[in-house]
Amino acid sequence: MRQIEPGDTLTLHFALRVNGGVEVDSSFDDAPITLTLGDGTLMPNLEHWLIGIAPGERHVFQLDPMQAFGEYNAELVQTLALSDFSPDKLPQTDSVIEFSLPNGSTLAGRILTLTDTHASVDFNHLLAGLPIEFEVEVVEICRQPGD
């Protein structure tokens, strides 16, 4: 039976949990998702665990922070002036905002604190520094690289 290789398009169910059971995201109660490895749907650290799995297999991976979303980096917490935000879209504590970068890409940041003039924004991934449980069930490999 064929196993997943880099670049494959596949259909799968997945769940992300913080070790200890708090579920962050899951497709197990909904339709499975279809993605192509390398298309940015999953982080490369998570895609790595799919290589070699065959359709019909279900696996649960216990990942330390470096195997999943990386360690928490205090240097990624920045203080921004409220004047840097759109006046019709001022930040709220604990909200996540997409910031546009000069190269056209975006970066998500979570608002930690607000003052009358500034916002403290955390640009770490929301799961950075946490041990993660990554569960996958491969439904099918839809396409091989080069098909």
DSSP per residue, 38-94: TSSSS-HHHHGGGTTPPTT-EEEEEE-GGGTT----GGGEEEEEGGGS-TTS---TT
Q: 128-143: b or e for each residue (b if 16 or more CB lie within 10 Å)?
A: bebebbbbbbbeebee
Locus of tokens 């670049």: 7
Provide the pLDDT for residue 74: 97
How confident is the model over 40-54, as a mean pLDDT? 90
DSSP helix/strand/coil, 22: strand
- Is residue 116 over pLDDT 70? yes
d(CA 122, CA 124): 6
Most confident of 18-27, 74-83, 93-102: 74-83
Provide the pLDDT for residue 147: 58
Instruction: Walk me through the domains of the chain, giving residue ranges and CATH numbers.
Output: 9-70+127-143 (3.10.50.40), 74-122 (2.40.10.330)
pLDDT band at 42 (very low <50, low <70, confident <90, very high): confident
- Is residue 63 over pLDDT 90? yes
d(CA 80, CA 100): 14
How confident is the model over 132-147, as a mean pLDDT? 84
- Is residue 109 over pLDDT 80? yes
Residue 4: other Cβ atoms inside 10 A: 22
Listed residue (144, 133, 137) closest to 31, CA to CA: 137
How confident is the model over 58-81, as a mean pLDDT? 95
pTM of the model: 0.78
Residue percentage of the chain with pLDDT more than 70: 97
How confident is the model over 34-60, as a mean pLDDT? 92
